[in-house]
Amino acid sequence: MLILLPPSEGKTAPSGGEPVDVAALPFPGLNKTRERLLDVLSRLTFPRALTYLDIGPGLEEEARRNLTLRDEPAAPAHEVYTGVLYEHLGLGSFADTENVLIASALWGFVRPGDRIPAYRLSMGATLPHIASLPALWRDPLRKALPDEGLIVDLRSGAYIAAWKPKQATVVGVRAFVDGKTVSHMVKATRGDVARILLQADPAETPEDVAGAVRAAGHTVELSGSGRSWTVDVIT
């Protein structure tokens, strides 16, 4: 089983330590794209950069870190990414997270223990000479990533557009409160589901995923067939 996580918009900047070593990140086939994006970000000028990054003036200080990412302190990804999903998941409490990959508009994918700096770039950004980040990543990710077995995909739309497994059996997770989807609740639920799956025996089928979540006390509906399945967690 492989668990795919989204990144978080909010990130905790490391207070010290060595900078990122791009060559040490997983999937070396992604390094050419990673380096290209680092170069593009380092040349952005402000305030126009805010338009490219699709953020407001209140985040300018955070975005300026993009100019020097190769020199910024790095820390394990599970310490850098914050937000509702990661609060509910608590990746730092698990000794083995080799079956977890975190999607990123800058890095493609990283593992929780990979050292990265805090950065500001979402998959919806439109950078100079790069009209679409999902399109930029699509071919490198297709060539680099494992596409087999069972994948629990907890990513959001733009990151799914960058890479959709073709051969693996994919299980998505949705959350409903009184019959409605609530963004905040979806993130929290996906964090809970990831934590449950990391604590349980390794899932091999969509039924295993639904069973583990149900055994943890949630109301669950499983739907789908073939290689595409969905677990609905209902409150």
Per-residue burial over 57-78, b = 16 or more CB atoms within 10 Å of its CB, e = otherwise: eeeeebbebbbebbebebbbbb
Q: What percent of the chain has pLDDT over 70?
A: 100
Which one, of 79, 84, 81, 112, lies nearest residue 98 by Cα? Answer: 112
- The pLDDT, as a whole number, for residue 64 is 97
pLDDT mean over 184-210: 96
- The pLDDT, as a whole number, for residue 56 is 95
Q: What are the two backbone dihedrals, phi and then psi, of residue 82, each rounded to the nearest 5 degrees? A: -130, -175
pLDDT of 184 above 80:
no
pLDDT mean over 153-172: 96
Q: What is the pLDDT of residues 18-34, one digit of tens each?
A: 999 999 999 999 999 99
Q: Determine the structural domain holding residue 100 and report its residue range.
A: 2-234
pLDDT of 183 above 80:
no
In the chain, the amino acid numbered 142 is R
Using CA atoms, how far apart are residues 33 and 41, in angstroms rounded to an integer? Answer: 12
pLDDT mean over 94-107: 97
Report the run of H or E that residue 232 belongs to, with start and end.
strand 228-234
pLDDT of 182 above 80:
no
Q: What is the pLDDT of residues 146-159, one digit of tens each?
A: 999 999 999 998 99
Average pLDDT, the chain: 96
Using CA atoms, how far apart are residues 230 and 116, in angstroms rounded to an integer? Answer: 31
In the chain, the amino acid numbered 106 is L
- The pLDDT, as a whole number, for residue 132 is 96
Half-sphere exposure of 132 (CA within 13 A, CB side): 9
Is the CB of residue 141 less than 8 Å from the CB of residue 162? Answer: yes
Number of domains in the chain: 1
Using CA atoms, how far apart are residues 134 and 160, in angstroms rounded to an integer? Answer: 8
Name the pLDDT band for 230 (thresholds 50, 70, 90): very high
pLDDT mean over 189-197: 97
- The pLDDT, as a whole number, for residue 177 is 86
- The pLDDT, as a whole number, for residue 178 is 79
Q: What is the pLDDT of residues 43-82, one digit of tens each?
A: 999 999 999 999 999 999 999 999 999 999 999 999 999 9
pLDDT of 235 above 90:
no
- The pLDDT, as a whole number, for residue 44 is 97
Using CA atoms, how far apart are residues 224 and 140, in angstroms rounded to an integer? Answer: 28
